[in-house]
Structure 1
Amino acid sequence: MAEARRAAVLGSPIAHSLSPVLHRAAYRELGLGHWSYDRFEVDEAALPAFVDGLDASWAGLSLTMPLKRAVIPLLDEVTVTAASVEAVNTVVFTADGRRVGDNTDIPGMIAAMRERGVEKVESAAVLGAGATASSALAALSLVCTGPVTAYVRSAIRAQEMRGWGERLGVDVRTADWAEAARAFDAPLVIATTPAGTTDALAAAVPDAPGTLFDVLYDPWPTPVATAWAAHGGAVVGGLDLLVHQAVLQVEQMTGRAPAPLSAMREAGERALGAR
């Protein structure tokens, strides 16, 4: 009988996470009955002790907020992708005991957009300026050939986004959140804000919109996503991102590829439908 292998998602809050549903679906499809995937409520203060307490049965960790930057000092190696945005959402424990941090959100975003036919755009808009927004800029560095306008709430956030743009090689321009409805004129709009933040903008969706990438998955669809689809625009949702980044995590942690994208997506849709 194969030795038990473990993985989990950590964060705070964590009860809402769909990661266990997606990873367990992958294990079933891949015939990995000796693998388990759990969730643990862990904040920044508790993270070092948690990681240090893991034994050799552990294959990897998924990390959500507020741990994506807090974990970096605990790692032996960080990939170029993760270092580019100073955010790690995946930790793999190697056979020789090393801790390697990666960021699957960025390639997951690119894969989710490609699935909806978005390969290249001449310009884009980003709503918000948090950690997900910096990952969005990293993805746009490979997708957008022209300027990206970030709509933010403060001068400090604007400065941060321009700084990320310089670091990632993206021509980032910033605008005040009061002008956020103008974002919808861009061929690609990535909304990275918390639930409810963009609801008031739904009435501003134009008659012939481009592509909306809204990173939320619960509640779904958002009012903006609903209006976008009603006007004939393409919509990429948070579940698309979650599944694509989880596919990459499963492949890295288990060493099995390709991970079962369709089975994972179906499991996520069922879980969301039951909420």
Structure 2
Amino acid sequence: MKEPARTLAWDDFRLIDAVAATRNLPAAAARLGMDHSTVFRRLKAIEATLGQPLFERHRSGYTLTPAGEEMAALAARVDEDISAVTRRLAGQDVAPSGEVRLATSDSLLSDLLMPILVGFRAANPGIRLDIVTGNASLNLSRRDADVAVRATDSPPDTLVGRRAARIAWALYAKAEAEHPRDPAESAHWVCLGDNLSGLRVVRYAQAVVAPGRLAARFDTVLGLAHAVAAGIGVGHLPCFIGDAWPGLVRLAPPDPTYASDLWLLTHPDLRHTPRVRALLDHIAEAITVRRPLIEGAAPRGVSPGRD
């Protein structure tokens, strides 16, 4: 066997470890954030470099050869050593630094996260934030982002994180406008577009509001909120927006069937990175303080404030 330390990179050991742990290429590919064919080609290249097979292919999956067992054990020891060094450095209270790319929606950024990020930057001046907004889910496996803050009831299985709160939705209108006693009879409505039809509140508007009473549709929650505040029509909004904007008034209590989970997500390979961990922990702590507002239980007019 050639000397692995001189011919193989750490990514090669990670691939060996992933195949050994999952015993099949599709699962190993998902764990590594790669496609199946890439893992197959890289595994063949590693075996060619070493001059012997590391796995035997069976119908039941991939099993380690004696050489493969040796390499997998080495990969596990290297991973353990890296984790130990990371923990030791973290224990030295070295200030995290570098860039963290954060993906979220425009409404979460402007009405919830922005004041939280002010506090984060004050506490972590060595970390530079790269903010990406949009409703499309980015691929954290490809490093499209390091951290994602998303409203979803089905976070991707390839990511890890925590459920920080339950986002409540209620029906709102411009405060100065006149409204019927039954909100459903409002003459003009605004709602979100088909790009967000996965939200239950959007499906409600599509099913209940007659086309003649639908004044406008918007492809972002922030755009919808401005439309309601301008008086174009009544519409459902997250309570952390509707209850904090002084120009809006609730027409009905939050409906639990429209609520969605707020998730803080990252890729498994990044969760112990100090700068990523610092951002996740800071956001989680700040959201805990704001949970009554997010879940529709805070008094009207409460501002998210700074952290």
TM-score (normalised: structure 1): 0.35
Q: Which has the higher contact order (CA 8 A, sep 6+)?
A: 2
User: Structure 2 length normalisation: TM-score?
Assistant: 0.33
